[in-house]
Structure 1
Amino acid sequence: MSRRGENIYKRKDGRWEGRYIKARDEQGKIVYGYVYGRKYTAVKQRLAELKVQYIASYGSLKIYEGTLEQWLWFWLNGPMRSRIKVSTYSSYQLRIRKYILPFLGQIKLIDLKPNQIQAFVTHLGDKQISSSSIRSIITVLKSALNQAVVDNHLLKNPCQNIAIKKSDVDDVRALTKEEQKRIEQAALQEPTCSPIIVALYTGMRIGEISGLKWSDIDFKNGRIAVNRTLYRTTLDDKRGKTQIVIDLPKTKSSKRMIPIAGNLKEYLLSKKAAAVSDYVISCREHFAEPRLINYRFKKTLKNTGLDHIHFHMLRHTFATRCIEQGIDIVTISKLLGHSSTKMTLDVYADSMWENRLEAITLIDSQLNSN
């Protein structure tokens, strides 16, 4: 029996059930929500809270009858498609298909709850997926659900206040000075311009080096303009089709000017004299894509005994040498094309073992003077 006017009922299983108006669909039909509890007073209190939360808004809320999967594809191929790069679209598509859909895809959009998303985060952690990857997956989901809020299909985003373990930042591995010397010696034997030398003395990303043209280098004023990046991206992750994309740099701050000093300038001028391509790093008179650069890099490393090194470590090495020379973090951030100095600090501030050792040694020297 219900309490008069309250929409609270005693169920056969002994629990109390409260009903409230949750929303109205596009035809104006009422959509009800339900609350359950063992105690009448608890259900009544929760029902009052929900009524306050929903009644003010239910008249304008447009119920989306589809699943989260349907909404995600609508969002990615509709509102987002023209606003993001091909590479971003590809990465979003992968996160949706590989991670979000198997766990949450069949839940109706309107029924998605924070506890289900929190369970999803726990599930990803149990699969040994890194905190940074989990955060990027939830970022995609959160963005899609923000659009649902904007479009008036949800009153609030259920991704709000989801707890994700703080990212475990791996120590940045830079080459030691001895390792750098060995790699440079091998790279200088290459007949054409070596991407290794460019990376070690400019800090450019591999995609930026792939897209670098001789016309981007102003030898008169001694500077390199980072105007484009080149990458291979997935067109259809089901079929595995890929394509090469030449695009603007990664972010607004990635489009930058990098000064070139005397030795690098002479090296580049000598290679330009024999160049047969518009691209600084070339293959058959055309560009060399990142995976080809990586392949050549591994071949160069073969006789150095340093085959555990990957190309991105050259960028870390450039930044590390800058820090060792006492260059300020703002300048390093600008050279690397980071969007903020915080990013530079997060990546490099704790990576300098030699600097830390030197600092401790300097402090320790005071002990003998006492």
Structure 2
Amino acid sequence: MSIQHRKVIQMEYKRNRNGEGTWRETASGNIEYRFTYTDEYGNRKVKSVTGVSENHCLERAEEFLARLRQRFEGINLDATIPELLYEKIESDFRKNYTGEQGYERNLRTIETIEKSAIGHMAIADIRVYHIERYLQSLTRYSNNTISKFYSMIKLAFAVAVDRGIVRTNLMENRNVKCPISDRPDKKVRGLTEEEQMKFINALSEYKPQNNHNTYRLQLLIELYSGMRMGEINALRPECINFSKGFIHVDRTISHGKASPFLKEGTKTKAGERDVPISAVLKPLLEEALEQMGDNPENLIFYDYNKGGVITTNQVCSMYKKICKDAGIPYYGQHALRHTFATRCIEAGIQPVVLKGWLGHTNIHVTLDTYADVFDRMNLGAISKFEDYMDKVLQGEE
């Protein structure tokens, strides 16, 4: 806004407060205040505001003029939450703060917000009760999904504050809390020993039609290594070190804006790791290397029919069929990774070791994810108490 325009607004506001504006009482008993102002094009205009008192009218007039000044300064007061978020995540993506997979997830979240009533409102016009109404509508989603919506709305207000569109981040109001889902959280569950054997038998007996891939080796490698399926499908021969007994994980198959692609780097920084090759895992890796064909990415597992990388969804579809044939519950193909972790805990492997093998960011992720398994394993510790009490009662202590 030019200095001249700024002066015009300030001077006119003072003149209005000194009596040059006009007042009248409306039929409903409210007060109407009419005053002149200069718009962004230099045109002189008249504005009317109503209130329950003269002071209330003056406050509304001041709010109107403040918003006008913001427009003069290039602040987009009509910006919506989705508009601010689209610009923000695009900027973060171009600066490599976010990968393609995270960028796609963010886009899907924003698209859902855009369909809501709050997504069509100018963020400057949103009040706490609008936010509350929107948050109340989210309880039908899972807690994980709710947290994404909540974080995105909070981010939009933070951007709006930085740009001078709003004065305060309403999401930081102590009364605005992240809602809790109506659904119970899905419990992480691996296969029981009996279910594991049923799965292995059904996988070996499965006869694919038209020579389709059964993804048998990938499924068994996940079962015996705990690697994520995207990491398995991204393996190259040089990742496998038989002499030292480990698989080096340093890339994954990611979902891009258009199609899946081979991503250099893992899901998280902790995801780059060395996974031990057990006696049961070694022959599976050797078989995979023997079956490997030439492909442009030099991947051990490659979709030669489509000419591209193999996605987790492709393998998951097969896993679902095998579970049905085996007569075992389907919890998603990721259950094989949880099964590996469960067997490790049952075998007495320490959480800090398992954390490294699984590529968890910190030990709390491992302990929280498999808390029920750790608790179950601790039940046997009562025998140590019983042995000790026997000695106490016999006077040996």
Match of 1:267 in 2: 284
Choose between structure 1 and 2: higher helix proportion: 2
For 2:165 and 2:144, how far apart are their aligned partners in 1?
29
The alignment's C-alpha RMSD in Å is: 4.4
Shift in Å at residue 3 of structure 1? Answer: 10
Structure 1 contact 67–105 (Cα < 8 Å) conserved: no
SS of equivalent residue, structure 1 residue 174: coil
For 1:158 and 1:85, how far apart are their aligned partners in 2?
29
Match of 2:160 in 1: 148
For 1:144 and 1:316, how far apart are their aligned partners in 2?
36
Match of 1:21 in 2: none
Letter paired with 2:192: T
Residue ranges of structure 2 left out of the alignment (5+ in a row): 1-15, 34-39, 207-213
CA distance 1:202–1:303, change in 2 (3 Å): same
Shift in Å at residue 187 of structure 1? Answer: 4.2
Letter paired with 1:249: T
Match of 2:37 in 1: none
TM-score (norm 2): 0.69
Cα deviation 1:18-58 (Å, max 9, x = unaligned)? 9xxxxxx9x9xxxx9x99789x9xx8xxx8xx99xx9xxx9
Number of aligned pairs?
341
Match of 1:184 in 2: 200
Q: What is the 5 A alignment of 1:1-370? A: 63-68=75-80, 69-83=82-96, 84-125=98-139, 128-161=140-173, 162-166=176-180, 169-187=185-203, 194-233=217-256, 235=257, 242-247=258-263, 248-277=265-294, 278-284=298-304, 287-306=309-328, 308-351=330-373, 354-355=376-377, 357-358=379-380
Match of 2:11 in 1: none
Cα deviation 1:252-309 (Å, max 9, x = unaligned)? 1112221222332233124323432543333328642222212332344454222634
For 2:105 and 2:348, how far apart are their aligned partners in 1?
37
Shift in Å at residue 130 of structure 1? Answer: 1.8
SS of equivalent residue, structure 1 residue 246: strand
Letter paired with 2:151: T
Residue ranges of structure 1 left out of the alignment (5+ in a row): 19-24, 236-241
- Structure number with greater Rg is 2
Letter paired with 1:139: S
CA distance 1:363–1:64, change in 2 (3 Å): farther
Letter paired with 2:300: V
SS of equivalent residue, structure 2 residue 244: coil
CA distance 1:10–1:255, change in 2 (3 Å): farther
SS of equivalent residue, structure 2 residue 141: coil
For 1:102 and 1:74, how far apart are their aligned partners in 2?
19
Structure 1 contact 209–229 (Cα < 8 Å) conserved: yes
